[in-house]
A and B are shown apart, each in its own frame.
Chain A
Amino acid sequence: MSDTRPANRRGILGRLYHGETSVDFYGRRRYGFLFSGLLVIVTLVSLLTSGLNLGIDFEGGVAWQVPASSTFGTDEARDVVEENGVEVANAKIQTLKSGDVESIRIQVGDQTTEVRSAVQAALAEAAGVDVNDVSVSSVSSSWGRSITEKAVRALVVFLVLVSLYIAWRFEWRMAVAAIAAMLHDVLISVGIYSIFRFEVTPATVVAFLTILGFSLYDTIVVFDKVQDNIERFAATRTGMADITNVSMNQVLMRSLNTSLAAVLPVISLLVLGSGVFGAVALREFAVALLVGLSIGSYSSIFVASPLLAVLKEREPRFKNLRGLHSTGAELEHMVVTGTSSGLKNVRRQVQADEHTAPSANVTPGALLTHPPRPRKKRRR
């Protein structure tokens, strides 16, 4: 009645479920770095060339929203605004659809109160609706600047605090890797906005912050496992590469589960909220979240952890074992049992040395048949 097959005879899903996968994440780290690097480059290029489509909340300006009709479209709206002496060359005029209702949104630079009201009245008249059906939003440019500045300042303070916290709770290398992965996630999410010319509104900023928080959260959970394993393998000669691989495979199911749990409501928001119910306000928000959360899950495994491994390998403790890692059945053995065999390690290292050029890294210690007894760890 029970599944007593050995791990290697289970299907891929079964092994995932039992946390017995043996994916060589470390060995494939370059693919992850390459992929992320490409995404970041595309983002940077897009940001530098076309920039962000900032909403009036950040740049200041006035936006009118008028119900559209068959006789009142974007061209008519443009004429009305122009007649009131507002420069329309840089105006953003677009049609928004929310359910069955179509409306036209006209967005221009900062205007005086008089112009605002005059255009509102003129638009209402032209569209044949009540003045109160024309909604106006306006933000002065100084206010827009100040909230942007405040948000940026808050972000910097937050990053400093989080770095200090991670450095204290774990170690500084983890702080570096976590922050790097988080920046990577947010940058790519911002890139989506830049590439697709989505308008950046305060809700978007909220979405970016959510991504930032989730990315850090996810990375911390993974790093917690890594730290666990560093302690667990402290008694053996296990390299950072192996520890990373083992940790990644052990948390893989958790990461997939969590990502799914976080992403499902967002997909629902996207498909049902904006698709079926037609709440446009939710669409871009949901897109940003979906991309950000997925990237966040991806980066904690494919960016943050390999980066941490690379950083950790510079430590004297792991230096000798740099780049060495087991794969396949050996890795699986480590994942499942959480122990490693010193004998195998040495054999692998010797093999590795034979394959590559003579390395100065081989220390007499590495050739011992069994690892030296590690120093007793102090109880925490």
Chain B
Amino acid sequence: MTRRRLAFTLFGLLIVVFGSLAGNLVAGNEPSLGLDLQGGVSVTQEPVGEYNSESLDLAVERIRERVDSLGVAEPEIIRQGDAIVVNLPGVDNQDEAIKLVQVTGAVLLRPVLLSQMIDTPDSVVDDGSSTTTATPNGDATTSTNVSTTIATAATTLPSSTTTLPGGPSRPATVTSLPTDTTTTPATTAVDAQSTTTTVASTDAPTGTEAPTTDVTLPTDMPDPTDPNATVFVQNADGTEFYQLGPAFATGEVFNNDAQADIISGGWGVRVTLRGGATGADLWNSGAARCFAKDSSCPSGRMAIVLDGVVQSAPSVNQPSFTGGVDITGSFSEGEAKDLARVLKSGALPVRLQVQAVQTVSPTLGSDSLRAAIISGLIGVGLVLLFMLLYYRSLAAIVVAGLLISGVIQWNVISLLSSTNGLALSLAGIAGIIVSIGVTVDSYVVFFEKLKDEVKSGRTLRNSAERGFKSAWRTILAADIVSLLGAFTLWYLTVGSVRGFAFFLGLSTLCDMIVAWFFTRPTMLLLARSNFIARRRVFGVDPSALAPGGAA
């Protein structure tokens, strides 16, 4: 290997490592601290009973939204298998934290008592119209044709302007015509889905905050998720504000088959009703009331509410439905899919059970952190002192290697902290401290082999090359075992063991990187110079090492 290539490798590594350090510093990335170092509340929940992956995903999203809306700094929301771990640093009220993260993905169906548009930029029809058309038979697949025809019928409805959202449809078979697609009178409704595709508004998606509208609010706002209360809530993008009556049903009236589909030329959602008293009957009793616009549902619209946020509020176009329901309107494809997902989740809401709660007081956390850092640094100092005594000037290379390894780890942890929400926990610090031993060991293995080679009479240059080669084999064999362990543990476990596994893997990789890209070029270059030969680093007479010297 030429001197130039070695130098190139060495400087390449230094540029990459310190370049990314500078990048991280400029970007202001720094490692975020785990709960055990910072104090806070950690809640672990696991779904129990029957649930589907939609409802679990949705639950995680809802938790994230709620936590974000609370303004917790650096919350950590992690899916570990089916378990959801929420770490809230700096939060000390445990009950609040538990309440915050307990979402179900349960959907409530509530009658709309009043609705009020908030700051509508474009002229969305206030009193939006939607069409409820019905497919007569209970079978979703056969209903397709029917509803298409219905949809056509719907388009003829007066209120079907372009801005109109869809209404649930499945005509009641009161007309006793199973295939009847007669244009049931459509009441108009504004769909809660606005035509924009932006995500939830920044203001209080949970509806606990008073919206900036002229709707007067009662001073004691009921919990928007209470099914038995009359509540005030917004839609997802904060464009409309509703007063909703007590829920007459939950999303469980639907089957777990909601699907976004093109219905009557636009995106809509099609879902079938569960049979019997807890399904179609319940839905129909509500639909009938809304259709009749009686006092419990004066607007004729039915809101689909997830966790205190109106997802859609179509008007009901039929008094009764048999097979399924079509919700049509001015949905974009994404909006229709979102709504379908909400309905799917609502059909089988996930029941999250709090499995573990942990509160760490901030002082306890910061004490541990300070103690760990100070004693860790002193420990490293002792190791370096020992290296200095033992290997004398070669210890400089050990110091540099540890420094580079430390910088690489700092870089990776900082970057992952800001992008993936990785947090440095006590277990992680333990892993790093232990890794110091492993990194130093790589040097010890190498130096000892070098010593052997020198003693058996080889030139220093030759010894360095042979020594590194055999040391590298050893380092690789031992590090692969550590990596195997790290990956297995990371993949198969949860909690702090997983955190430990991550840092073990990271520090092992750093060890290999430093050995190959730093130690190797440095030592091989030094071996060609007089640096080592002039000093008695291996306890061998330097004259023996000088070229031409007696062995």
Chain A interface residues (CB < 8 Å from chain B):
1-4, 17-19, 57, 65, 98-99, 101, 113, 117, 120, 132-133, 135-140, 142-144, 146-147, 150-151, 153-154, 157-158, 161-162, 165-166, 169-170, 202-203, 205-207, 209-210, 212-214, 216-217, 220-221, 224-225, 228, 250-251, 253-254, 257-258, 260-269, 271-274, 277-279, 281-282, 285, 289, 293, 338
Closest-CB distance, A271 to chain B (whole angstroms):
8
Q: Given A98-B367, A206-B427, A274-B371, do A137 and B357 touch, yes or no (CB 8 Å)?
A: yes
Instruction: Give the top 8 A-B pairs by smallest Cβ distance, nearest first.
Output: A262-B437, A265-B379, A143-B355, A268-B379, A2-B541, A154-B492, A279-B371, A277-B371
Contact across chains for B371 and A138 when beta carbons are under 8 A apart: no
Would you give 19 A-B contacts (Cβ < 8 Å), ordered by A?
A2-B541, A3-B539, A57-B495, A99-B367, A137-B356, A139-B356, A170-B477, A203-B427, A206-B430, A210-B500, A213-B482, A217-B482, A253-B448, A264-B379, A265-B379, A265-B380, A268-B375, A282-B372, A289-B430
Selected from B364, B374, B390, B489, the residue in CB contact (under 8 A) with A158 is B489
Closest-CB distance, A134 to chain B (whole angstroms):
9
Chain B interface residues (CB < 8 Å from chain A):
36, 44, 46, 83, 92-95, 98, 353-361, 363-364, 367-368, 370-372, 374-376, 378-380, 382-383, 386-387, 390, 426-427, 430-431, 433-434, 436-438, 440-441, 444-445, 448, 451-452, 455-456, 470, 473-474, 477-482, 484-485, 488-489, 491-497, 500-501, 504, 536, 539-543
Contacts of A154 in B (CB 8 A): 488-489, 491-493, 497
Contacts of B364 in A (CB 8 A): 98, 281
Q: Given A217-B482, A221-B445, A281-B364, do A143 and B356 touch, yes or no (CB 8 Å)?
A: yes
Contact across chains for A217 and B493 when beta carbons are under 8 A apart: no
Contact across chains for A150 and B372 when beta carbons are under 8 A apart: no
Other A-B contacts than A135-B94, A210-B500, A261-B436, 14 sampled, CB-CB below 8 A, are: A18-B455, A101-B363, A135-B359, A140-B354, A154-B493, A202-B495, A217-B478, A254-B448, A260-B386, A261-B440, A262-B434, A265-B380, A266-B433, A338-B456
Contacts of B358 in A (CB 8 A): 137-139
Selected from A153, A224, A265, A338, the residue in CB contact (under 8 A) with B383 is A265
Q: Given A206-B500, A261-B383, A272-B378, do A161 and B478 touch, yes or no (CB 8 Å)?
A: no
Contact across chains for B379 and A203 when beta carbons are under 8 A apart: no
Closest to A169 in B: B477
Contact across chains for A209 and B367 when beta carbons are under 8 A apart: no
Q: Given A137-B357, A158-B485, do A224 and B477 touch, yes or no (CB 8 Å)?
A: yes
A214 to B489, CA, bound (A): 15
Closest-CB distance, A124 to chain B (whole angstroms):
12
Contacts of A132 in B (CB 8 A): 92-93
Closest-CB distance, B495 to chain A (whole angstroms):
6
Closest-CB distance, A256 to chain B (whole angstroms):
9
Contact across chains for A165 and B361 when beta carbons are under 8 A apart: no
Contact across chains for A277 and B494 when beta carbons are under 8 A apart: no
A216 to B440, CA, bound (A): 16
Contacts of A136 in B (CB 8 A): 94, 357, 359
Q: Given A203-B496, A209-B489, A261-B386, do A268 and B371 touch, yes or no (CB 8 Å)?
A: no
